[in-house]
Structure 1
């Protein structure tokens, strides 16, 4: 009973993924699928420090704010 439905679903999923890979791949250039530029190492380092630093400093800044409130 579920076999034809499973077969159709499997074939549809395979077709969707094949089309996605065909239409969104541009030849395997490293870093092409990233939302930021990796060619400038200094800019990348700065972005990483800001991104990771904001996540790590957030709880401490929030705690400091709560402790300094009157």
Structure 2
């Protein structure tokens, strides 16, 4: 009984928060990011460089260890 009351209260809170809307002083999505998401090609290059650099580091580390004398 207590559990069902708690669930109904949390549901009521969530729906009231959603009904208020998000246009009251909230920035648009992506406005608080340190890079622009408007140019999709530039964003793709950033993603490739970021994730690609993380994937190449272990291979260069192995190569360095194997080439050490």
Q: Into which bin does the TM-score normalised by the smaller protein fall?
A: 0.5 to 0.7
Runs of 4+ in 1 over 4 A off after TM superposition: none
TM-score (norm. length: structure 2): 0.58
**Count of aligned pairs between the two proteins:** 45
Q: How does 1:7-26 map to 2 (within 5 A)?
A: none
> Structure 2 unaligned runs (5+)?
1-24
Q: Greater helix percent: which structure?
A: 1
Counterpart of 1:54? 53
> Structure 1 unaligned runs (5+)?
1-25
TM-score (norm. length: structure 1): 0.58
Deviations 1:26-66 (A, max 9, x none): 63311011111101111100000000011111111111111
